[in-house]
Amino acid sequence: MQKIKTALLSYGMSGKVFHAPFLEFHQGFELVGSWERSKQLIQLDYPNVKSFATLEEVLQSDVDLVIVNTPVGTHFEYAKLVLLAGKNAVVEKAFTTTVGEARELANLAKEKGLKLSVFQNRRWDSDLKTVQQIVSSKVLGELVEAEIHFDRYNPILSPKTHKETANSGAGILKDLGPHIIDQALYLFGFPKSVFADIRITRENSLVDDWFDILLFYTDFRVRLKASFFVREANPAYVIHGKKGSFLKPRGDVQEDELKLGKKPNLDSWGTEPKELEGFLHTEIDGEIIKKKVPTLQGNYYSFFEGVYQSIANGLPEPVSAEDGTHVMQIIEASIQSSEDKRGIDL
């Protein structure tokens, strides 16, 4: 099996929790090291890898793939340098801060013949995989409306300065927003127009921390919501069709298990507690059905397998730069809609 030499551009939570464990587990990757600016921590977990002192050192090395997992405001600059250096790239969400930046990176990767993917790992959440199964099965009939929530109760400002200072990459819309925007586009395709309301609700906050986005399709509507003031959670997914409904709480366990230092596997990884199963109420062949639906197994390994296959065997990226650009189009339209208090055609 071809080994893809891979470097991270930071080893904070993202590198330690979401990337390094899967790069170590997947036999097709070789984790070479990480760029570390102040604290040298990666060698405590992976003694045989390197702590790079500078970005230039990373780009001058023989790595094949660079994970751009730095603050959102730096994604465009760093990803562009990575591509110009002839390296394949995975860029964390939000992909960039503007549609123009996203398109420039997509075009550059194409010109260079490189693979560029966006880390939309939550396509492989157990929740989303189960919702996708329900939607694709047509068991709800013609869809009428859907809601996707990513809510938390967290009124305290983050200690991470880049998340709480007014900058082009800060705010909930570019933090949690890309997850559920991408999920909506993955499930339902690209909408015709957008209407959005974006607010600041926490005391002393300088960045947006609440949003309500409505995506308009021809005969269907999708509402996307996120807030830091939801103590009692709504269902994360609510899908209504002309025959029935499906409600699913957010239950994917992968992030929590990774934070505890658990290592991914291909057997039991990403298995939700049974009590978090979704509820289906519909009509099938004239019979009213009310039942819990077993949750499919989630596994972020599938994203990394997709990246491996794209680089090693020339297959499409698991989440393309075009996908990332579409998310940025929704984000830009949402900002304009909220400022102008009107719908924006796409």
The pLDDT, as a whole number, for residue 164 is 87
How many C-beta atoms surround the C-beta of residue 232 within 10 A? Answer: 6
State the virtual CA torsion across 282, 284, 286, 289 in degrees, nearest 10: -50
Q: Alpha helices of 194-279 — where are they, by DSSP H?
A: 254-259
How far apart are the C-alpha atoms of 220 and 292, rounded to whole Å?
Answer: 25
Per-residue confidence band for 95, with pLDDT thresholds at 50, 70 and 90: very high
How far apart are the C-alpha atoms of 129 and 119, rounded to whole Å?
Answer: 16
The pLDDT, as a whole number, for residue 250 is 96
Residue-wise pLDDT tens digits, 286-301: 999 999 999 999 999 9
Asked whether residue 70 carries a pLDDT value surpassing 90, the answer given is yes
Per-residue confidence band for 160, with pLDDT thresholds at 50, 70 and 90: confident
How far apart are the C-alpha atoms of 88 and 116, rounded to whole Å?
Answer: 6
Residue-wise pLDDT tens digits, 8-63: 999 999 999 999 999 999 999 999 999 999 889 999 999 999 999 999 999 999 99
Per-residue confidence band for 173, with pLDDT thresholds at 50, 70 and 90: very high
Q: Beta partners for 67?
A: 8, 90
**Candidate CATH numbers 3.40.5.90, 2.60.260.20, 3.30.360.10, 3.40.640.10; the one for domain 122-298+330-345:** 3.30.360.10
Average pLDDT of span 236-245: 98
- For the chain, give every domain's residue range: 4-119+303-316, 122-298+330-345
How far apart are the C-alpha atoms of 169 and 72, rounded to whole Å?
Answer: 5
Burial annotation 103-138 (CB, 10 A radius, 16+ → b, else e): bbbbebbeeeebbbbbbbbbbbbbbbbbbebbbeee
Is 4-119+303-316 in CATH node 3.60.150.10?
A: no
Average pLDDT of span 140-164: 93
Residue-wise pLDDT tens digits, 201-210: 999 999 999 9
The pLDDT, as a whole number, for residue 342 is 98
Residue-wise pLDDT tens digits, 219-236: 999 999 999 999 999 999
Residues 6+ apart with CB under 8 A from 301: 22, 25, 26, 124, 264, 266, 269
Asked whether residue 72 carries a pLDDT value surpassing 90, the answer given is yes
DSSP secondary structure string for all residues of 297-324: PP-THHHHHHHHHHHHH-PPPSSBHHHH
Q: Which amino acid is at 270?
A: G
